[in-house]
Structure 1
Amino acid sequence: MSQTVSNERFRKRFTTFNEIGATDRDGVNRPSLSGANQEARDTLVEWFEKATLDVTIDEMGNIFGRRAGADNALDPVLIGSHIDSQYNGGRYDGVVGVLGALEVVETLNDEDIQTERPIEVVAWSNEEGVRFQPDMLGSGVFAGEFDLEYAYARTDKEGKTFGEELERIGYKGDESCEPRDLHCYFELHVEQGPQLSERGRSVGVVEGVYGFVWMNAAFIGSADHAGPTPMHLRHDALVATSDVIESVRRITGTGGDDLVGTVGSIDVHPNSINVIPERVDFTVDFRSYDNDVVDHATEQIQREIEHAANRESVEMEYEEIMRVDAEPFDDGCIETVEQAANAVGAEYMRIVSGAGHDANYLNEICPTSMIFVPSVDGISHTEDEYTEWEDVIRGADVLLHVVLEKANMGEVEQ
């Protein structure tokens, strides 16, 4: 058969898809369960059906397109990613993996190739977690990490629940969202970091993903006039927050070689130039490939939040909302990706992902690995996110070879 996917078809689909929710700076704005996200889902379902895939939608709005195998009693090979975006995010994040998986199926259709095992393409719900937290919610419920009721009760800043919004856009499906037997899972994705770009490699063979913890925290002080209130009488929630921000940077500098930490979201109230901040809600994100390092950083920042509250005489709130342990991917799946990269002549390297992916949770229920393609200058989660198209095609070709290998394994070969 042809050893490559269709460049022209894939690129046309990619361009058309990213007209949905397009921004003025060549990004996309398709947060989970938004109007643009609904339109993207509708488009994907239409394309799945045109590719003769059997489409099902589960209770979390995860979209599956199934291509029959010669023996449909065998566990399927699952491939895909997500189509929701950050607010004003990039065009490549997630979409490359979903449309790349669809292109693999289309290539098999073109060549009239029947695989032993069924192949399923998936688009997971709420991977980004920007509107409804935590992230990776659809795959998390599917893998048994979260209860369905918990997921439905997640709210956005306007108080709208995930369950209500899922029903509103018509994607609260009938299929159960729960763990089931899968032969393996592979996810094609842009790296979202600088390693491939800096080393001039076109493919990353992903060995595992960083563990991470997300925290919500708040300081509650007293609002007062910025002019007449003496400094010694102030209870400034923003000053306490600034102490924590500095502590996050200090902890990451001493906590481990790969430890990273971020305060990525801050809401200040009343947010007025001449009023002392009364309340600040903020987030903390720690990541490392060493779970003990993440644990230690989390314990440290809890103490720093308490110290900051005491120094500024303000009240504090703290909640851990997300924790994912670092675990290596399946050796056999990693080796299959490496062999496929060799087969297509890719300049590749083994790599660990600093970003979380749906593959984190799939790794808990079936053999899993990922294929990375470079993010130019390591930029992602912004409208400036960019990947050279020849690298996208190279990654899809690797995925094609991986699927042919895994989907033609019989029941004995595990």
Structure 2
Amino acid sequence: MSRKPEVNAARLLASVADFAAIGATPAGGVNRQALGIEDRAARRLLAERALARGFTVFQDNIANLFIRREGRDASLPPILIGSHLDSQPTGGRFDGALGTLSAFEVLEALSDAGIETDRAVEVVAFTNEEGSRYSPGCMGSMAFAGAGTMADWEPIHATDGPQLADELAATLAALPEAALRPTGHAISAFVELHIEQGPILEQEDVPIGVVTAVQGTKWLEVVFSGVAAHAGTTPLEFRKDPMGAAAAAIASLQSAVMPADPEARLTVGRITAEPGSINVIPGSVTFTVDIRHPDAAILAAMDQHVRKECEAAGARWDCDVSVSQRVNMAPGRFSPTITGAIEGACKALGLKSRQMVSGAFHDALFINRVAPTAMIFVPCRNGISHNEAEFVTDAHMISGARVLLNVVEALG
């Protein structure tokens, strides 16, 4: 006899605490980087809990971990829910893990209530979302969606030395209970619960963000080349100063791009000067520019604006300039059907919600290429993430899981 499924709040909160103990740091965060010992321990714990509930566990060639609860019709593509378990070196306990563990709680709640969905529901823990130990991030979801392959990444070495191919093989071998399947399979939809990683929901006292899109991202590297010269003996008219050009370009971009468009993001995150001596005009200055926007055409226009401003600054300071692209990640618009299901769940549960665009990229950005997708955001205190101080209230964790369960019921 089936009954209305309900999130077991105590079980979910205990689960979050249990996984936070794997790779725990003294300041209350976690260091559980992709394909390392701690990551394997988290995967094992999740798999053991799944097998104890009678769910099927399998993994693919890039170590994406799947937990399947069968539905009435095995021929129907499953609903996929989940996130990731890896963290930043000094990460928080909620980023990724909350989404994965809330998804597992959905499976448990359905089973507790004796609910039989039409199609199977699968939980996924994607490999290397963070990209902190191996770059690029989102390897697992990229491979699942056909946006990258192991052949592209196998030679990569970790920040602590080991080659990706070796650590991947060790991770797969550490979980022999999980059958190995090819990477990528048909799914009917993907829903990812995640912390917002920004301050909007908390500031507006809204418990649920309905994510309609993910910003596109471009990383550019700008190099101004001038002439190294003595700081004390070289008058202004004889200087070819790349630092002057860089400062002018950065000031122009910072004052123009974001003030003109509230959806635009521009960040200069790294700058280096060569030879780097206090009393030498640099011979070259290199800096990075991270630009983001949910509209692909506007993002392309931002790219051109950066290049134009840098060329103008180079000309003013008599320096050569080159701008090269390091990352080009197209924006993603999520399925109105799935976002509508999330909004419907919030109304049914009496929870306030608001639509929003994600400023960070997530696994959902890539899965969106192969299936209808959307995300559920919950607030995090002061918008802090990728930080040991990351914090989500119990009430918000439970609300997010309840919305996810309701959405799965609606889609299943």
Bucket of the pairwise TM-score, normalised by the shorter protein: 0.7 to 0.9
Give a deviation string over 1:346-404, Cα, whole Å, max 9, x none: 12222222221111111111111111111222222222222111111011011111111
Residue 57 of structure 1, CA deviation: 1.4
The alpha-carbon distance between structure 1 residues 346 and 207, as it changes in their structure 2 partners (threshold 3 A), is same
CA contact (8 A) 1:18 1:91 kept: yes
2:135 aligns with: 133
Show CA shifts across 1:113-156 (max 9, x none): 22221110001112122333333221112112223322334455
1:54 is displaced (CA, Å) by: 1.5
Greater Rg, structure 1 or structure 2?
2
Shift of the 284–275 alpha-carbon distance from structure 1 to 2, 3 Å rule, reads: same
Match of 1:211 in 2: 216
What amino acid sits opposite 1:63 in the alignment?
L
Contact 2:5/2:113, CA 8 A, preserved across alignment: no
State the distance in 1 between where 2:24 and 2:235 align. 47
**1:213 and 1:286 in contact (8 A); partners too:** yes
Does 2:323 match 1:321?
no
Distance (Å, rounded) in 1 between the aligned partners of 2:312 and 2:245: 9
Q: Is the 8 A contact 1:69 1:118 kept in 2?
A: yes
Name the amino acid aligned to 1:24: P
- Could you say which residue in structure 1 is the equivalent of 2:12? 10
Which is further off, 79-88 or 145-154? 145-154
**Which residue is equivalent to 1:177?**
183
Write out per-residue CA displacement over residues 166-200 of structure 1, whole angstroms, 9 at most, x where no aligned residue: 2344469842223x321111111111222211221
Question: Number of residues paired by the alignment?
Answer: 404
Quick check: 1:57–1:171 contact (8 Å CA) kept in 2?
no
Q: Secondary structure at the match of 1:25?
A: coil
Shift of residue 257 of structure 1?
A: 2.8
Alignment of 1:85-234 (within 5 A): 85-157=87-159, 161-170=163-172, 174-178=180-184, 180-217=185-222
Alignment of 1:306-317 (within 5 A): 306=311, 311=317, 313=319, 316=322
Q: Secondary structure at the match of 1:365?
A: coil
CA contact (8 A) 2:5 2:115 kept: no
What residue in structure 2 maps to residue 368 of structure 1? 373
Q: Which of residues 228, 246, 249 in structure 1 aligns to 2:251?
A: 246
Helix, strand or coil: the match of 1:33?
Answer: coil
Look up the match of 2:391: 386
Equivalent residues of 1:239, 1:312 under 8 A apart: no
Query: What's the counterpart of residue 79 of structure 1?
Result: 81
Distance in 2 between residues matched to 1:214 and 1:274, nearest whole Å: 31
Which residue in 2 is equivalent to 1:286? 291
**Which of 161-170 and 121-130 deviates more?**
161-170
Contact 1:255 1:297 in 2 (8 A): no
Q: Distance in 2 between matches of 1:148 and 1:315?
A: 35
Which residue in 1 is equivalent to 2:34?
32
Secondary structure in 1 aligned to 2:143? helix
- Equivalent residue in structure 2 for 1:400, among 398, 401, 405: 405
Q: TM-score, normalised by structure 1?
A: 0.85
Percent sequence identity over matched residues? 36
Give, as a single letter, the amino acid of the residue that structure 1 aligns with 2:9.
N
Q: What secondary structure sits across from 2:341 in the alignment?
A: helix
1:257 corresponds in structure 2 to 262
Instruction: State the Cα RMSD in Å.
Output: 3.1
In the superposition, relative to structure 1, how do residues 227 and 122 fare at CA in structure 2: closer, same or farther (>3 Å)? same
SS of residue matched to 1:8: helix
How many Å separate the matches in 2 of 1:262 and 1:95? 27
Distance 1:70 1:195, change over 3 A: same
Unaligned runs of 5+ in 1: 408-414
Contact map agreement 1:134 1:322 (CA 8 A) in 2: no
2-structure distance, mates of 1:308, 1:259 = 22
Cα distance per residue 1:13-34 (max 9 Å; x no partner): 1111112222222222223233
Give the whole-Å Cα distance in 2 for the aligned partners of 1:122 and 1:14: 16
**1:63 to 1:142, Cα distance in 2 relative to 1, 3 A:** same
Q: Secondary structure at the match of 1:204?
A: strand
- Is the 1:31–1:130 Cα contact (8 Å) retained in structure 2? yes
Q: Deviations over 1:308-338 (max 9, x none)?
A: 56637477562332322242x2122111111
Do 2:99 and 2:194's aligned partners in 1 also have CA atoms closer than 8 Å?
Answer: yes
Query: How far apart are 1:38 and its partner, in Å?
Result: 3.0
Provide the rounded CA distance (Å) in 2 between the counterparts of 1:159 and 1:150: 18
Deviation at 1:299, TM superposition (A): 1.6
- Mean CA deviation greater in 206-215 or 117-126: 206-215
Q: Is the contact between residue 29 and residue 387 of structure 2 (CA under 8 Å) also seen in structure 1?
A: yes
